[in-house]
Amino acid sequence: MASKREISDIRDNLKENIGSEVVIRANTGRKRIVEKSGIIEQTYPNVFVVLLDASQDEASRRMSFSYIDVLTKTVELEICTS
According to DSSP, residue 60 is labeled -
Q: For the chain, how many helices (H) and strands (E)?
A: 2, 5
Q: What is the mean pLDDT of residues 53-74?
A: 84
Contact 40, 18 (CB under 8 A): yes
Q: What is the mean pLDDT of residues 54-76?
A: 85
CATH of the domain at 45: 2.30.30.100
Please indicate whether residue 77 or residue 81 has the higher confidence score (pLDDT): 77
| pTM of the shown model | 0.84
pLDDT digits (tens, 9 = 90+) for 4-54: 899 999 999 999 999 999 999 999 888 899 999 999 999 999 999 999 987
Count of the separate structural domains present in the chain: 1
